[in-house]
Structure 1
């Protein structure tokens, strides 16, 4: 099982639950609590299981979320922090980078639509 963990002060751990698909990306992740010895607790249910779209929408239908969905959630949370008492430079910079990521993912989608390959496995 692949374990993903970022930063020194994390209280959660992310596990990859599946094998990579045709495009090389994984589709299922779980977020769990981390015990004091940095191992995921086995008795607790995960906080979240994230299932990404697997396969082209035109062939598989919508069967999971998209990266943009998670980025939208993170953007909204940071906007809320910035509108309240937790506004700071670091949040503003992170917000800018998330908005930039959303911009480029949208740019990719529009390019694929213009080339009539959106929703397919074609490059």
Structure 2
């Protein structure tokens, strides 16, 4: 992994690539706009939740092909991580602070 923009853009190295090429993963990047609590999108991208969903799908595929205890545990932990992120978002929506720079 190479960090291009901390917290927002990365290069994920391809497993068998001998030339050091990779794939860029871009997360949504927001920064304060005028009012310090308001955020505006600087560059669009994916979310932690989306990336976890991809990993869950991949691990489920691998578990189906090559079942083992470790894969099952990984799936459980990824699903738990996704659950906590979704809970955080639901709580922020309930408090009307989602998308704002407020704890």
Q: TM-score range by the shorter chain?
A: 0.7 to 0.9
Equivalent residues in 2 for 1:93-108, closer than 5 Å: 93-108=73-88
Q: Distance in 2 between matches of 1:89 and 1:74?
A: 17
Q: Distance in 2 between matches of 1:93 and 1:63?
A: 32
2:21 to 45, 54, 66: 45
Distance apart, 1:44 and its partner CA: 4.3
Aligned length: 97
Q: Distance in 1 between matches of 2:14 and 2:82?
A: 28
Normalized per residue, the structure richer in helix is 2
1:63 to 12, 19, 44: 44
Normalized per residue, the structure richer in strand is 2
TM-score for both structures, normalised by structure 2: 0.80
Higher relative CO (Cα under 8 Å, sequence separation at least 6) belongs to: 2
Change (3 A) 1:62 1:111: farther
TM-score for both structures, normalised by structure 1: 0.68
